Amino acid sequence: MKQNYTVRHGALEGVETFLAVARHRNFRRAAGDLGVTPSAVSQTVRGLEARLGVALFIRTTRSVGLTEAGQRFFDRARPAFEELVAAGEAARDLGRRPSGLLRLTVPRAVVPLLLEPVLASFCQAYPDIELEIAASEEMVDLAAGGFDAGIRMGQFIAPDMVAVRLTSSFPLIVVGSPDYFARHGRPRQPADLRDHACLRMRRGSGGLAPWLFKAGNATVEIAVSGPIIAHDYPTLVGAVIGGVGLMQAPRPMVHAAIAQGVIEPVLEDVAFETPGVFLYHPGKRQMLPKLRAFIDHIKAHSWQ
């Protein structure tokens, strides 16, 4: 049977005051430490004793001592209270300066394009931040997964997220190897793709990514088929270079292969334009200095 565990209202009230009196064995000196009046200290201690149902101090006109119950309470409450104070200080420290664990979820293909060029300089600039990168095509719930932020193409980001642009917009282009085009010819219009081997991408949601093209001011989707379905772009790029078929990919992810001449673009005049790549997070109210530092750093080095 599931039990509910709660902290009673006021359960910690008076503990700091008790510890100060126990440490000094004097109500007046404890009041000086706490910045309150001796009568306020006495009243707070009496309230704590009433809640616990036991006397914690032995008071005389000349001295203050701990009862047996008071000594037991002191022995266990002091380390616990010191740990609470340390925990609060650690939390405040995260809110004051860039430090702590920064967890990001990003697509695998984004890592070499956007993250690898800035990792060394970021780690040098912020040595107190521990950066964890979870590379996956799956769209995850940031809060449920314990992530500070994610990086995705703009069209996949939920509207309730705060999105920070990292790149300019870019097209989705169809590419193939020279060998494939020599054997199968080049498509002249999107409808020709139905006669080609088209390698497809399965999204983290489970659906296949559609092949989109512009038709004037409208967007059209072309039904394609082929021998390979992959869950990440690098796998498809390797297959395209090997001459297996065609793929539709963000231009930045295949730019290097095009420059090397191992793949060639087609249908560029009707390429669908994407919004670009964004970093997204739940909101400014929840942004810690570690995330702000990362955003500022990657924006300064990204290709916008």
Sign for the CA dihedral angle at 259, 265, 271, 272 comes to negative
What Å distances lie between residue 92 and 1, 36, 87, 143, 216, CA to CA? 37, 24, 9, 20, 54
> How does the average pLDDT of the chain come out, rounded?
87
Q: Which domains does the chain have, with CATH numbers?
A: 15-96 (1.10.10.10), 100-165+283-301 (3.40.190.10), 170-274 (3.40.190.10)
Cβ contact 212:220 at 8 Å: yes
What is the C-alpha to C-alpha distance for residues 81 and 13, in angstroms, rounded to an integer? Answer: 11
Cβ contact 217:137 at 8 Å: no
Minimum mean pLDDT range among 94-98, 111-115, 164-168, 269-273: 94-98
pLDDT tens digits for 204-241?
777 898 999 999 889 999 999 999 999 888 899 999 99
Looking at residue 8, its pLDDT comes to 46
pLDDT tens digits for 123-150?
999 999 999 999 887 888 888 889 999 9
302 against 197, higher pLDDT:
197
pLDDT tens digits for 25-52?
999 888 888 899 989 999 999 988 888 8
Q: Estimate to the nearest angstrom the gap between the alpha carbon of 217 and the chain centroid.
A: 36
